[in-house]
């Protein structure tokens, strides 16, 4: 069991945390983008779909980067 907490499995922990965060971060980013679009006056369904796709790409990147630094700091005590 202690083998799971070595550097050999760091990528596994990063991916697990990124997957756990992805859905919540995507919804948060999407809601913020839709509210801004509605405030600007554009509310069509095609724009919402485009914003959801863009929120997915943004949240995937944010989740992975955050997970990498979090796992490296918490499990291994360094940021590299």
In a domain, 32, yes or no: yes
In a domain, 12, yes or no: no
The owner of tokens 């799971």 is: 4
Q: State the average pLDDT over residues 29-45.
A: 88
Q: Is residue 52 scored above 80 in pLDDT? A: yes
In a domain, 14, yes or no: no
Predicted pLDDT at 80: 54
In a domain, 6, yes or no: no
Predicted pLDDT at 79: 55
Q: Predicted confidence band at 2 (pLDDT cuts at 50, 70, 90)?
A: confident
In a domain, 7, yes or no: no
More confident residue, 7 or 15: 15
Residue 34 structural domain: 19-76
Q: Predicted confidence band at 44 (pLDDT cuts at 50, 70, 90)?
A: confident
Hey, what are 79's tokens? 């940021």
């Amino acid at each position: 069991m202690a083998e799971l907490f070595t550097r050999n499995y760091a990528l596994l922990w990063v991916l697990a945390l990124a997957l756990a965060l992805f859905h919540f971060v995507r919804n948060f980013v999407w809601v913020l983008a839709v509210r801004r679009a509605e405030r600007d006056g554009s509310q069509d369904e095609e724009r919402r779909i485009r914003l959801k796709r863009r929120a997915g790409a943004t949240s995937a990147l944010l989740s992975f980067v955050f997970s990498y630094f979090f796992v490296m700091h918490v499990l291994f005590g360094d940021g590299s």
